[in-house]
Amino acid sequence: MGNMRSIEIAVGTFVVAGCVALFVLAMQVSNITAFQRTEGYTVVGYFQNVGGLRERAPVSLGGVQIGRVTAIELDQARLEARVEMTISADYDDLPSDSSGSIRTSGLLGEQYVSLEPGGMPDALQNGSELLVTQSALVLEDVVGRFIFNQSAGDQSE
Amino acid sequence: MTDLLQRLGAATLNNVATLGRAACFFWRILLGLSELLRRPGLLVHQIYSVGVLTLVIIVVSGVFVGMVLGLQGYYTLVDFGAEESLGVLVALTLTRELGPVVTALLFAGRAGSALTAEIGLMKATEQLAGMEMMAVDPERRVLAPRLLAAVISLPLLATLFTLLAIFGAYGVATTMLGIDGGAFWSQMQAQVSFTDDVLNGLIKSLAFGVVAGWIAVFNGYDCMPTSQGVSRATTRTVVVTSLIVLGLDFVLTALMFD
């Protein structure tokens, strides 16, 4: 019977190890807490162009992540992209005239929404709209403008 | 000419008949699974010989696959100055593809062949027939626990493989390649999603477990009861399992990640 016992212990250890591995994968590798922690309030911003912004992209203020983008859709009436952001309830005292802009981390990195604090005394509420927004910088436009300016400059000489 | 046609026809009919037998066999095993609820001891024994004994090869190859992946990924990424993304590359490759597939291939070689040989030898030495004589259903007593053990073991093994490989890559990245450990994890956590990547990988390995267990047990049960027949069945298990796992992986990937 001792043999059976050691086999059962080995199998039990194996199963526990597998489950622990899955748990560690969930926590350490995919960081499951980061998108479960959607408790907070929702803020909406309208952007002319969101570029490569995706859902679950970070929302940061001063480089510190304070929330995530939860939805991106086209607003049919305004013909602008409606970006919904959930901001952690820890940061519930942001000025209501804060502005949002879409930035890129590094030259090729992922895009995120950066908030610039305003100066109003009242705070952003659930459902508030960011009044001032700045679209994503689309690299092709910049390159296109640069080439256009170059060639215009050549002709004037 | 007609000889050739006849041979082709015979081979086709043979294969279809095998497929049919395999399907019926699978159905009977499914019906036999209820028996296991009353005798879980049988299952524990099989998980030991199928899962626990496969652990060594999984652990060792997991660490080394991760280390190699880390090195090779680094050599490519460093050209773009994106070596900090090594964690993302390694984690996505492993959770989505390499973890389930390599584990299934190793499993077929280590455990699948052993299952086939064991059952084939039981058949060759007429132990299965003997059980039937004693009114013990070998499908419930012998085959069902082995199949279920494979289905349970493979996802566990694949998870361990993936995790160890990621840590292997982490070890290489931080010690040999000088990548910051914090960036390695944080980029990975930002990019890897639990439902899309980890869970889909787990579903894959579960499907591979069913396939690997089914093929191994069926080949043993269906083999010619001679020593040559057992050896052929064992080879066939490894070859067929590997091919089907690779093919099924493509189909599952196409379905899961669009």
Contact A22 B45 (CB under 8 A): no
Residues A8 and A85 in one domain: no
Higher pLDDT: A84 or B195? It is A84
Provide the phi-psi class of A106: left if phi over 0, else alpha when psi is between -120 and 50, else beta.
Answer: left
Q: What is the mean pLDDT of residues A101-109?
A: 76
The ipTM assigned to this model is 0.80
Residues A81 and A121 in one domain: yes
Closest CA to A49 of A79, A76, A84, A86: A79
pLDDT one-digit tens code per residue, B89-112: 999 999 999 999 999 999 999 999
Q: Identify the bridge partners of residue A72 per DSSP, sorted by sequence position.
A: A83
Residue at A150 is within a domain:
no
In total, how many domains does chain A have? 2
Residues A42 and A26 in one domain: no
Residue in B closest to A16 by C-alpha: B156
Cα gap B170→B179, rounded to integer Å: 9
Check: CB of residue B81 under 8 Å from CB of residue B87: no
Residues A7 and A72 in one domain: no
CA terminus-to-terminus distance, chain A: 97
| Side-chain-facing half-sphere of B184: CA atoms under 13 Å | 22
Residue at A105 is within a domain:
yes
Q: What is the mean pLDDT of residues B233-246?
A: 95
Question: Which residues of A have a CB under 8 Å from any CB of B?
Answer: 4, 7-8, 10-11, 13-15, 17-19, 21-22, 24-26, 28-32, 34-35, 56, 58, 108, 110
Helix boundaries (H) for chain B? 2-32, 34-38, 40-50, 55-77, 86-93, 99-107, 113-124, 127-133, 138, 144-175, 181-191, 200-222, 227-256
Q: Count of CB contacts below 8 A, A vs B?
A: 76
Q: Which of A19, A25, A56 sits opposite B198 (nearest CB)?
A: A25
Task: Show residues of chain A in contact with B184, CB under 8 Å.
Answer: none
Residues A16 and A83 in one domain: no
Residue at A22 is within a domain:
yes
Residues A9 and A80 in one domain: no
Residues A126 and A80 in one domain: yes
Q: Which of A70-84, A94-108, B42-56, B112-126 has the lowest mean pLDDT?
A: A94-108
Residue at A117 is within a domain:
yes
**Residue A155: pLDDT above 80?**
no
Residue at A93 is within a domain:
yes
Q: Could you tell me the residue range of the domain that residue A129 belongs to?
A: 38-139
pLDDT of A129 = 86
Residues A76 and A117 in one domain: yes
Residue at A16 is within a domain:
yes
**Residue B66: pLDDT above 60?**
yes
Residues A82 and A107 in one domain: yes
What percent of chain A is predicted at pLDDT more than 90?
Answer: 7
Q: Which of A3, A6, A11 to mutate to test the interface with B (most CBs of B within 10 A)?
A: A11
Residues A69 and A121 in one domain: yes
Residues A45 and A14 in one domain: no
Residues A10 and A60 in one domain: no
